[in-house]
Amino acid sequence: MFHKHYETLRIKMIVMTLGFSLIPLLALGVTIYYQFNNTFQNKITESLRTLAQNRKSSIELFFDERISQLNTIAQTHSFERLKEESFLTKVFNVMQSRSKSFIDLGVIDSDGNHLAYVGPYSEKLKSVNYAHEDWFQAVQSTGVYVSDVFLGFRKVPHFIIAVTSVENNRVWILRATINSAIIDEIVSGAQIGKRGDAFIINRKNILQTTPRFAGNLLESPNSPDFSSSRGTTIELMSFKGEESLYGAIPISNPQWVLVIREDPQEEMALLSGAYYTEALILGFGVILVILGTVFTTRLMTRRLIEAQKDKAKSEDLMIQSSKMAALGKMAAGIAHEINNPLQIIGDQAGWMKDLLESEDIKKSENFEEFDQCINKIERQVNRSREITHRLLRFGRRMETTQEMVDINHLLAETITFLENEAHFRDIQIQTEYDELLPKVSTDPNQLQQVFLNIIDNAIDAVGQSGQLRIRTSTDLKDPKELVVQISDNGPGISKEALSKIFDPFFTTKRADEGTGLGLSISYGIVEKLGGHIEVESVEGKGTTFYVRIPNV
């Protein structure tokens, strides 16, 4: 019942402490997790955005450079000169010396006639008329034209840049073919990680560069359609059941769209290290909190139980001592009451004895009988008086006094209290008193209590059939002390118990037989009286207590 109460209290304490400490800890862990996740995802999208913008700028710069190169040639040289093939070859060689990406260069008049051409297909292209081609129309209206990528005769991906110039109100066109390998190179710089991809599509969703995974050049890519994108798109999208992070950014001229694909798993993998560390710290924290809580609550409840037990015992003790005090008073009262009639009976018996001395009664044939009766009455009255005196002394034991005490006498009296018990258990009490023992100034009542405790313990230890030896002497080494030696041939005290027998509440007896207070109280009393208690014990042989009393 007692322990069950503390067990529920302990569980309540554990649950409450764990609740108060673990909930904030876990809340903190979850918040950190989400914050971290968000920040990292933002970082991933931001870096994808920056990557897409950088690549877009590089591609646009590439086109701007080529267009302005062609424009410079068209503006700085006359149509007449450029249509001379030898001059056009010179110009082409200069251009190629700066950039190998130029494949050929041609001059076309306003009617679409290819007037001059430098490049690998001079036979095929020289006499071609472009008047009906789409790009011819387009360049005339916009001034600059960049074609989509196509394979051409040599099956090498390339595209056309054409610019116009006006001379004498006549428009003519400078047209160059450019190898698109450079564009592929710029785009491939954005193919990050093991599964990342990057490619360019035109406005009809046809691949203009060769992707790593997303399909083949000049086909539609295996990705969501970004061909109509107007602004930058950064989005987590699913395509054919596979989720990827896509970044799409339109390029202004030509009207293409750069698409970059990243594997979110691969990007987030970097974060998993941080998650593991967080989980580890959190797990460690949780274990520490649980262990700490269990440990401290166990400690606290143990202390509480001990305190409660101590309290209960000291309450028991107080009840016991107040009972004893009441008993002492009662005994003294009764003894006092009985003493008076006893006194009268004794006096009357004495008077009767005196009367028996008179002549007539002496002659009576019952004189002997009378005399014996009166003697018996006197003996029994004396015995009763002895008992009432003892009771009176017992009553007085509660008060502390200081008087000259004959220790031998005090011991003899104490033994009389326990004689019956010893006799009943077939225990002999041998005494060996030092007849020359001096009287000492001490508290006889308290000292008697000490002797009672020790002799009582000895009788308990012997149990049945044994011997007790009580000896008094002056200490030869230190004549300032008297020694009372109380030995028994009981089972002795184990080494482990020997160090504890003077501790309060230490007992090896059943709860209803021993309180564990006798020796601790005795120890306190003897110390207070200026003396000392020592013990020697051999297991299996017996125990001897030495009570040393100052010889003053």
Residues that bind ligand ADP (CB under 6 A): 453, 457-458, 461, 488, 490, 493, 497, 501, 506-509, 514-520, 543
User: Nearest approach, Cβ of 305 to ligand ADP (angstroms)?
Assistant: 21
Residue entry with tokens 């056009």: 88
Closer by beta carbon to ligand ADP, 101 or else 515: 515
Closer by beta carbon to ligand ADP, 39 or else 321: 321
User: Nearest approach, Cβ of 534 to ligand ADP (angstroms)?
Assistant: 13
User: Nearest approach, Cβ of 459 to ligand ADP (angstroms)?
Assistant: 9
- Rounded to the nearest 10°, the torsion over CA 41, 43, 45, 51 is -150
- Rounded to the nearest 10°, the torsion over CA 31, 36, 41, 42 is 90
Closer by beta carbon to ligand ADP, 99 or else 467: 467
CA gap 52, 60 in Å, rounded: 12
- Please, what sign has the CA dihedral across residues 402, 407, 409, 414? positive
Which amino acid does the sequence have at 515?
A: T
User: Nearest approach, Cβ of 379 to ligand ADP (angstroms)?
Assistant: 37
Closer by beta carbon to ligand ADP, 208 or else 457: 457
User: Nearest approach, Cβ of 400 to ligand ADP (angstroms)?
Assistant: 21
Which amino acid does the sequence have at 494?
A: S
Cβ neighbours of 136 (radius 10 Å): 19
Closer by beta carbon to ligand ADP, 254 or else 490: 490
User: Nearest approach, Cβ of 18 to ligand ADP (angstroms)?
Assistant: 42
Q: State the residue number with the nearest CB to ligand ADP.
A: 518
User: Nearest approach, Cβ of 284 to ligand ADP (angstroms)?
Assistant: 48
Closer by beta carbon to ligand ADP, 349 or else 501: 501
User: Nearest approach, Cβ of 512 to ligand ADP (angstroms)?
Assistant: 11
Q: Are 518 and 456 in contact (CB under 8 A)?
A: yes
Closer by beta carbon to ligand ADP, 223 or else 457: 457
Closer by beta carbon to ligand ADP, 357 or else 496: 496
Closer by beta carbon to ligand ADP, 207 or else 517: 517
Closer by beta carbon to ligand ADP, 6 or else 506: 506
Concatenating the DSSP letter of every residue in 370-401 gives HHHHHHHHHHHHHHHHHHHHHHHHHHHTTS--
Burial of 482 (0-12, 13-18, 19+ CB in 10 A): buried
Q: Are 328 and 397 in contact (CB under 8 A)?
A: yes
User: Nearest approach, Cβ of 12 to ligand ADP (angstroms)?
Assistant: 36
- Describe the crossing of helices 2-76 and 85-98 by its angle, rounded to 10 degrees: 150
Q: Give the residue among 101, 235, 195, 203 at the shortest CA–CA distance from 157.
A: 101
Residue entry with tokens 């490049």: 119
Q: Give the residue among 237, 103, 93 at the shortest CA–CA distance from 158.
A: 103
Q: Give the residue among 85, 83, 528, 7 at the shortest CA–CA distance from 301.
A: 7
For residue 165 the two structure tokens come to: 């110039």
Cβ neighbours of 52 (radius 10 Å): 22
User: Nearest approach, Cβ of 490 to ligand ADP (angstroms)?
Assistant: 5
